[in-house]
Structure formats: C-alpha cells, structure tokens
Structure 1
Amino acid sequence: MRKALFFLPLIVAFGLGVLFWQSLGKDPSTLPSALINKPLPDFSLPTVEKSSELISAARLKGQPVLLNVWATWCPSCHMEHPYFMQLAKQGVPIIGINYKDDRASAMKWLAELGNPYLFSIFDEKGSLGFDLGVYGAPETYLIDKDGIIRYKHVGVVDERVWREQIQPIYERLKS
C-alpha cells in the first residue's frame, strides 16, 4: 500500500504531462462547435438600442452575416472593434451579440467607438450565448442566408483572420 502511495504523484504527473503534450501546437481559436452546419438556435431577445425591439433567428436570414459576440468588459473586443468598423464600411453585414453586459455601458461604448453592427442583440443573461456554446467574448460566427452556422472563430478577428479564414467562406456564401 505504501509503495502505491509513493508512485501516485509520479503517475499523476505523467498523466498531466501527456495531456499537456497533446495540447501543444493546437490553435485555441479553432475550438470545435457542434453547431457547424446546423441552424442558428431560435431565440427572442431585445436589441441593445431598443429594449422593446425583439429579434429572433429568422431576422438573420436572407444574406450571409457575421455574428459577433462582444462585451464592454472584454479587452479583446476593444482590440477587434476598429477592424469590424472597417468591415462594416466595406459593406460586410455584421450583427452583434452583446454578451452578459450592461445595456447603458454597451450603448455608451457603441456611441464612443462607433457602431459597426446592423443591430446588437442584448443577451444580458447569456442565454443565446449558452445555446451557441460561447466560451467567452469575442467569438464570431459566419451565418449563411438560410440561417445556418457555417464557421466559428474564437478570439480577435483582425485583417489576417478575416483574409485567411473568414473571407473565403463569406465570399463563397455570397455567390
């Protein structure tokens, strides 16, 4: 029994080492999503701009859109926001999901930094985020014209991510 207890820390350390080794080189922004190629979960939530305006998944149909999960408490969201402003100026339709945030803070943030979104869904309790499998902000989804989730990116969207990962799929969905 004592010999088994003596080797227990060694066995635990070896197991943790194997797990660590397997995770090396994996890109955390490519976390799998069970929702790829499935419809956007149904929801009915207000917008940040108007608490009386309810949005549902049906409102996102008709054209490919980026669905960006953001929050004022998220430093990475601040980093990617200027690039979303550029994409919006280029005509890329972007819809926001303001995730687990304060409405007044979100409205102030958009007023001060600019608003790249056609509208922002106010997900105060994180219910839509939960249904999407959101790990945290920022996350960006590419939704096709039929409301099907075609791509998920975890982390900041910048020019490289857009050009190399998202834009090719977006262009294919547009045509």
Structure 2
Amino acid sequence: MARLSPLMAVPLVVFTAFAGLALIGLQREDPNSLPSALAGRQAPAVTVTPLGDKPGFGDADLRAGDVSLVNYWASWCAPCRVEHPKLERLAGEGLAIYGVNYKDKPGNALGFLEELGDPYTAIGADESGRMALEWGVYGVPETYVIDGKGEIVLRVAGPITDRVLESTIRPAIEAARAR
C-alpha cells in the first residue's frame, strides 16, 4: 500500500478553511451591509450644488422632524437603475427622499431623471465627491435613513432590492418614526 505525502493534504486543508469562511459569511444577516461609523450620529453637512432647476436641500431639511432618505446616485451607475423603482415607490408613499448626484455630468443626470422619473423631494450635485467622503460613501448607489432630528439610523451600500427594502429599510424607517 502506497503512503500519502503530507503535502497532498494541503489542498484539502485550504479548501476546508475556505469553505468554512464562506459558510460563516453567508450566515451574516445582510451580506450587502457595511458598517457605518456614522450610525447613531448626526448626518454630516450637506454641501451640494444645484442640479438644473431642481429644488435643492440643506442641513435643515434633514432635521425638519420627518424621517427621510439620502440617496447617492449617478446616471452612469447601472445598479442605480435597478433601485430606481423602489425609490419611486417610497416617494409615492410620501417619504421624503433627498438625492445626491455623485460625480456626474449635469446633462446626463437630468436625462436619467427624465427617462426614469424623479423620486426626489429635492436634489443636489456632489461633482467633486467631497460630501460623499464626509458621509463615508464607498460607491453608488448608497442610501441613508435619517430620523427627524438629522441622525443617521441606517446605511445601505448597494442597490435597494425588494428584499433590502422589506427586511432592512422599512424596519429602520419605522424605528426612526417611533423615536
């Protein structure tokens, strides 16, 4: 009978370790969630420039007493197209959504809204990406649930899917309203 070399066991050990880590990762509550250092803190300053003739917004709008969303998006962002109907649904339900157009050309951004609809209560452009840095944005789309006092309740990195909307965003909105 032939003896097996200890080196032959290395691939099996590596595979087992990788499979174990993958299993742990899949059991996380929301694999798309990223921690936010800002959760539970006041939203950073709003420093946007006007986008066309759309109404703009500022810090006071996030502290006006109503729960709202701040949504970072761009016309060049394919996942932003995917989440857009969910934003329109929330806006249709009366939720204030403030849009931050991220590093985009104004004409392209306005064309995107003309094509898909405009779910935003107010909107501004972050052409340099400076505001996004202050908010800790990793990329677009990214959405924040803000309570009526301007505190960040939840951060969602990536597109809002039906699953994320129902299991994460709606409960956060209700919790923020209950405060």
Q: TM-score by structure 1 length?
A: 0.81
Aligned counterparts, 1:1-175, within 5 A: 21=21, 24-25=25-26, 26=28, 27-50=30-53, 55-62=57-64, 63-175=66-178
Question: Match for 2:76: what amino acid?
Answer: W
Question: Match for 2:59: what amino acid?
Answer: A
Question: Match for 1:67: what amino acid?
Answer: V
Give distance in 1, aligned partners of 2:52 and 2:122: 8
Equivalent position of 2:4 in the other structure: none
Change (3 A) 1:55 1:44: farther
Q: Which runs of 5+ in 2 are unaligned?
A: 1-9
- Residue identity over aligned pairs, in percent, reads 36
Question: Match for 1:40: what amino acid?
Answer: A
Question: Match for 2:21: what amino acid?
Answer: W
Question: Match for 1:151: what amino acid?
Answer: L
Change (3 A) 1:111 1:54: closer
CA drift of 1:67 comes to 0.9
Aligned Cα RMSD in Å? 2.6
Question: Match for 2:130: what amino acid?
Answer: S
SS in 2 for 1:46: coil
Give distance in 2, aligned partners of 1:171 and 1:24: 28
SS in 2 for 1:95: strand
Give distance in 2, aligned partners of 1:162 and 1:39: 23
| Matched pairs, number | 162
8 Å CA contact retained: 2:69, 2:145: yes
Instruction: Extract structure 1 runs of 4+ deviating beyond 6 A.
Output: none
SS in 1 for 2:110: helix
8 Å CA contact retained: 1:49, 1:120: no
Q: Which runs of 5+ in 1 are unaligned?
A: 1-9
Change (3 A) 1:84 1:55: closer
8 Å CA contact retained: 1:46, 1:55: no
Question: Match for 1:89: what amino acid?
Answer: G
Give distance in 1, aligned partners of 2:86 and 2:56: 27
Question: Match for 1:59: what amino acid?
Answer: D
Give distance in 1, aligned partners of 2:177 and 2:61: 17
Larger Rg: 2
CA drift of 1:54 comes to 5.9
